[in-house]
Homo-oligomer: A and B are copies of this chain.
Amino acid sequence: MSSGNFDSSCHVLQESLLSSASGYSNYRGILNWCVVMLVLSNARLFLENIIKYGILVDPIQVVSLFLKDPYSWPAACLIIASNLFILTALYVERRLAVGTISETTGRILHIFNLTFMLTFSSATVLSVTSMTPVGGVFSLGIYTVLFLKLYSYQDANRWCREIRQAKAKSLTRSYSCPDVQQSNGSAVHSLVSYPGNLTHRDMYYFVFAPTLCYQLNFPRSPRIRKRFLIRRLFEMLFLMQLLVGLIQQWMVPTIQNSMKPFREMDFSRMVERLLKLAVPNHLIWLIFFYWFFHSSMNVVAELLQFGDREFYRDWWNSETVTYFWANWNIPVHKWCLRHFYKPMLKRGTNKFLAQTAVFLVSAFFHEYLVSIPLKMFRLWAFMGMMAQVPLAWFVGRYLNGNYGNAAVWLSLIIGQPIAVLMYFHDYYVIHHESVKLSP
């Protein structure tokens, strides 16, 4: 454009940017727009909530979720009792290492030990009346983790014995159990080899380490980084407060408000309530994810100088449901792959069947963690997990790229509150009915 008063021609033949003919595609401002809109929308919801309900956050109430009677601590006792099973597993392994008992006897003892763990914990939670639902979920969660750890422990130790036998027989250089690749950090620790690992110290390191897969000589980080530890500890404490606050202030009133439409089966209001619940539920899940998989696990790992910090991978970019499940919870995924999926493939099961079996086991544990503490068997969690199989097939078949990613997000954002509402509704109905029957 020429300047000055003689700028008589100021139009050029050109297309509008949004016409496909312009070839324009820079919409990076849209991401900022999305962020601003989300922040504003949620600021409004927050303000509306405060106006409607006032401040509902009450840290004292949290204690009552764990304890009904301050002189009876059933969840804590149950957790302390778990040492019995840990030590049983260790002693069985010691006998097996020296050959006092046969492999078959050892196998049977381990299976008995593991089965007894699950039945003992669920029986306790179901029978002890002073056990609160939150205390029940917490202790059963610890039992589930221990179950997976001890299963891995006996598997890994058995593999070591198999290698020892193979070595003794063929005298050829096979895969050597203690020859793990030496990483920089672990050089200072002396490496142990097979029966040398069957110590209390090694066992309890594994029990507290943020992994479900046992191995001799875990990779170790060179030192405890104090600034890193303090930051993660601060996050851990702050996010825990935030989680409790959000649940009390946002989640509970929303769920309580949605009971009426659910009782009356008013469909459009049910959907509205579900979508209203989806936002806080999803936000709480995201914060929980960061709190548990990043802050807490890194704190524990830093304290134990545990080197492998891959507790999650980039599930937020997942374009298939399978990718999401394989990447959001790496400890469980690693365990499933190493102790369940690969052994099944080795035994000749086909891939799809093995995958479905993994989802089945996962569905079982989800149900175990929810139904028993609530003392209510509804199979919603089980069905929710099993629904992932057809969902994974559908998304993998028909959607890809950003559409697949959006579908995964949608299933996360919508799927969870459906399950939450189902359980809460049934729990509410049972509780409400019993109140009506009692007088």
Contacts and interface: CB of A to CB of B under 8 A. Distances in A.
A188 interface: no
Given A6-B175, A11-B211, A269 B406 contact: no
Interface stretch (A72-80, A272-280, A362-370): A272-280
B183 A219 contact: no
Interface residues of A, number: 101
Contact of A314 (B26, B31, B180): B26
Q: Which of A213, A269, A405 has the most CB of B within 10 A?
A: A405
Contacts of A37: 38, 279, 282, 413
B316 A33 contact: yes
A185 interface: yes
A64 B252 CA distance: 46
B342 A12 contact: no
Contact of A13 (B4, B177, B184): B184
Contacts of A174: 6
B276 A44 contact: yes
Interface stretch (A16-24, A126-134, A352-360, A428-436): A16-24
A13 B43 contact: no
Interface in A383-423: 402, 405-406, 409-410, 413-414
Given A6-B163, A36-B406, A40-B275, A14 B310 contact: yes
Interface in A265-296: 268-269, 271-272, 275-276, 278-279, 282, 290, 293-294
